[in-house]
């Protein structure tokens, strides 16, 4: 019995040590440069617009940055609107989520000055304006998640919820909020 406890205790410490090494490996990655990665994939960030109501785009507490929900606003100022599964296809919803991601990247850069200060995308809540019978919300929000990984690599992988909504403000197709660990 003592051998089992000893083995469990050693296993626990070894796994804790590996988690700490993995976290350190992420922060010491010399090739990490999301600003350069955006250039490589041909994305230029839009100007960040003022909030449309009585709130702020981001709030920082400690090393966490909480970004308000944002939607798929195109560069021409128009939003992608409609219900996914009725007015929009999964692919159109995916693109709306990707555009929302680009807008969030612009907010992050505006808040931090440089995207290299992002240590990790921690948590994402993706809301999809969807028809009652639509059940592929995760496929839509993948547009956002795929972009985060494309820009931040392993640091872009995050915990996530993707849920359907009966409606969203002004009829937008998706709204996404996130929590980011920063330097």
Are residues 10 and 70 located together in one domain of the fold? no
Specify the number of domains making up the chain. 2
pLDDT value at residue 122: 98
Range of the domain at 108: 31-182
Are residues 95 and 125 located together in one domain of the fold? yes
Q: Containing H/E element for 112?
A: helix 90-112
Are residues 102 and 77 located together in one domain of the fold? yes
Are residues 68 and 15 located together in one domain of the fold? no
Are residues 58 and 26 located together in one domain of the fold? no
pLDDT value at residue 118: 98
Question: What is the mean predicted confidence (pLDDT) over 33-37?
Answer: 96
> Whole-model pTM?
0.84
Task: Retrieve residue 110's tokens.
Answer: 């505006």
Whether the pLDDT of residue 9 is over 50: the answer is no
For 47-95, write each residue's pLDDT tens digit. 998 888 899 999 999 999 999 999 999 999 999 999 999 999 999 999 9
Are residues 26 and 79 located together in one domain of the fold? no
Are residues 17 and 40 located together in one domain of the fold? no
For 13-23, write each residue's pLDDT tens digit. 555 455 444 44
**Under 8 Å between Cβ of 123 and 148:** no
Beta-sheet strands, E only, within 6-156? 58-61, 64-70, 118-129
pLDDT value at residue 25: 52
Question: What is the mean predicted confidence (pLDDT) over 155-170?
Answer: 98
Are residues 96 and 19 located together in one domain of the fold? no
User: SS3 sequence, 1-43?
Assistant: CHHHHHHHHHHHHHHHHHHHHHHHHHHCCCCCCHHHHHHHCCC
Are residues 7 and 81 located together in one domain of the fold? no
pLDDT value at residue 2: 55
């Amino acid at each position: 019995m003592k051998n089992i406890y000893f083995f469990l205790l050693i296993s626990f410490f070894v796994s804790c040590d590996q988690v700490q090494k993995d976290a350190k490996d992420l922060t010491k990655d010399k090739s990490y440069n999301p600003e350069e990665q955006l250039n490589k994939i041909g994305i230029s960030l839009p100007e960040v617009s003022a909030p449309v109501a009585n709130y702020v785009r981001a709030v920082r507490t400690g090393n966490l940055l909480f970004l308000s929900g944002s939607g798929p606003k195109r560069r021409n100022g128009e939003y992608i609107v409609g219900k996914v599964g009725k007015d929009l296809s999964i692919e159109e919803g995916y693109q709306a989520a990707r555009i929302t991601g680009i807008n969030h990247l612009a907010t992050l850069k505006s808040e931090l000055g440089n995207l290299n200060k992002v240590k990790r995308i921690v948590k994402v809540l993706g809301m999809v304006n969807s028809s009652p019978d639509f059940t592929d919300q995760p496929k839509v929000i993948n547009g956002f998640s795929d972009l985060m990984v494309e820009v931040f690599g392993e640091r872009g992988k995050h915990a996530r919820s993707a849920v359907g909504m009966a409606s969203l403000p002004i009829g937008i197709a998706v709204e996404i909020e996130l929590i980011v660990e920063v330097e």
